[in-house]
Chains A and B, each alone.
Chain A
Amino acid sequence: MHQRPVEILLVDDSPADARLTRTALMEGAVPKKIHVVTDGAQAIDFLRRRNVFHSVPRPDVVLLDLNLPKRDGLEVLRDIKTDPELHSITVIILTTSQLPEDVRAAYELSANCYVVKPVDLDQFYRVMRGIEEFWMTLATLPTISRDPNSGTARDDSARSEEPGNGRKGSAGARHRTAATIQGRTRRLANLLVRKATSSR
């Protein structure tokens, strides 16, 4: 068990998806702090503690979407896994892409695992619980122990939920974007139904 909260960096350009992931993770019993960034360049700045991220903690786990503005998830993964300072950080690819070439490329670049984000909300919650159970309960993460009062002053400083980062990309990427949007809409609809039912 961890002495301090598990520090999680969530890299997801969709504010709605990030909120949902955060909510699902926070339902789990393991104490955790979740930091959110919305593009690949910010993810790298966070990990290298550059600019506004100069006093953020080192994440224990990175939950990395693949389809990101500025630098895509595979580029971020490559940066992490080829940097001797960062490469021991656990990177979980969490994406809607089911393309075998994405799965293959992620493992090729030493992703710790690849998880497909389910569209169905209950499935999504179950998957997030599975991630918590395996990675934060069962497995031992390479945790650098440090003073719990240091380095956390800017927790959540990375959160920015403004949409519209000028996504560019190939036809394949646009196709995946469309699939993501569709997925989000369905998940949000599910969430609303769930909230409405549970508040009765």
Chain B
Amino acid sequence: MHLRLSVISCSSPMQVAAPSIAAEILLLSENEGEVSLVRRAIEKSCLNVVDDCPAVLRFLRREPPYQDSPRPDLILLDLDLSDPDQCDTLEQIKRDPSFKRIPLVVLATNDSTRNVFQAYDLHANAYIAKPSDQDSFVRVIRATLAFWLNLARLPQE
């Protein structure tokens, strides 16, 4: 995971190029349509998908059936933070000394000021309100990956 400054070639997030670096991404989403949109936005990276909160933790801890799971470079969680169980998952990841360093972006399904604060209070790295239409969703995912994979420096294990 070297050589990260390989440029976001765009003047606005709406024209962002797909990220050019291969990375392991863990996505929590129970919406199959959105998962396939994320797959479309990701080029070289490897997408690992889980569809509920307990599975996120099992994946990270390499518990069955995820014994061979890779360590993600970036975690994208489609969360409704008004649900205490979903908050709890975020908190558990960010409190765990093994995973807390992995950048985690919340894709909020239920966007409210309270949820924004809650996400950052629990040390989510970033909070994004999910756009409702498909094209905007793909652009947001691309821009997010472009920022984290091409421009930011990620921790190495």
Contact = CB atoms under 8 A, between A and B. Distances in A.
A133 B8 contact: yes
Interface stretch (A15-23, A115-123, A154-162, A172-180): A115-123
A108 interface: yes
Contacts of B143: 133-134, 138
A114 B140 CA distance: 20
Interface string B1-28: 0001101101111001000000000000
19 contacts: A87-B121, A100-B155, A100-B156, A107-B100, A107-B101, A108-B100, A114-B153, A115-B151, A116-B4, A130-B151, A134-B126, A134-B143, A138-B143, A139-B126, A139-B127, A140-B108, A140-B116, A140-B129, A142-B116
B140 A126 contact: no
A135 B143 CA distance: 11
Given A90-B120, A133-B143, A104 B13 contact: no
A116 B129 contact: no
A88, A139, A141, A142: most-surrounded residue (chain B CB, <10 A): A139
A182 interface: no
Contacts of A133: 8, 10, 12-13, 16, 143, 147
A137 B146 CA distance: 14
Given A127-B5, A140-B111, A140-B129, A116 B120 contact: no
B20 to A, nearest CB: 14
Interface in A92-128: 98, 100, 103-104, 107-108, 110, 112-116, 118, 123, 126-127
B151 A127 contact: yes
